Amino acid sequence: MKVLVTAGPTYEPIDPVRFIGNHSTGKMGIAIADEFAARGNEVVLVKGPTGLYASHALVKEVNVQTAAQMFEACAQYFKQSDVIVFAAAVADYTPKQVSAVKIKKKEETFSIEMIKTKDIAAELGRQKTPQQIVVGFALETDNEFKNATEKLRRKNMDFIVLNSMQHQGAGFGHDTNLVTFIDKDGNVAKFDLKPKADVAKDIADYVYKIIARRK
């Protein structure tokens, strides 16, 4: 199969030296890319700024910085992909104007006008064919199950991986994760805290189960 995976954060520039970002390291998305490649699939990994890299030779890395760049890269590979896993932590907003020079510290307060970025999963989810499998992620701090389920339906995903900021050892920066899968048929699968490499195996297994059910 051809598999498209996104990973890492996006950096939205304020001026030539500053940006707005998040704490994503890309560990989860990279583990997913390596797992699908280990099963013999051709993988494209669209990766935001991170010092980490995929280890498998079948992973082609496309490095981007901003949400707009990530959207363009994903749009390039989406239609030809059989499986798409949106694991990146993409910025929801980006500065409306980017200063061409470094902004000097002058005033006591400083405001930045922000505009929405394109919702990559939602935009491409509208182009999804019945043959494609789309997997998303939801990192939530409250109303977790409700928010994840709404995101699953709104973005036309086959299943979503919910992980919570409430659990120690899960989320950004950790080598482990604690997740729950929710699929479009309402099935729920809960997992214990485990290494992200093992979570990647669970995600790949679930994708292969969907494929088997369709045959």
pLDDT at 144: 86
Domains in the chain, number: 1
pLDDT digit string, tens, across residues 26-35: 999 999 999 9
pLDDT at 182: 96
pLDDT at 174: 81
pLDDT at 199: 96
pLDDT at 215: 77
pLDDT digit string, tens, across residues 67-81: 999 999 999 999 999
What mean pLDDT, rounded, does the chain reach? Answer: 94
pLDDT at 108: 87
Q: Residue 214 — very low, low, confident or very high, per pLDDT cuts 50/70/90? A: confident
- pTM, entire model: 0.94
Tell me the CATH number at 9: 3.40.50.10300
pLDDT at 175: 86
Average pLDDT over residues 114-119: 96
Task: Give the catalytic positions in this structure.
Answer: 22
Q: Residue 140 — very low, low, confident or very high, per pLDDT cuts 50/70/90? A: confident
* DSSP secondary structure, the chain, as one string: -EEEEEESB--EESSSS-EE--S--SHHHHHHHHHHHHTT-EEEEEE-S-S-----TTEEEEE--SHHHHHHHHHHHHTT-SEEEE--B--SEEESS--SSPPP--SS-----EEEPP-HHHHHHTT--TT-EEEEEEEESSSHHHHHHHHHHHTT-SEEEEEETTSTT-STT-SEE-EEEEETTS-EEE--SEEHHHHHHHHHHHHHHHHHHH-
Residue in 91, 143, 103 with CA at minimum distance from that of residue 14: 103
pLDDT at 20: 95
- What range does the domain containing 119 cover? 2-214
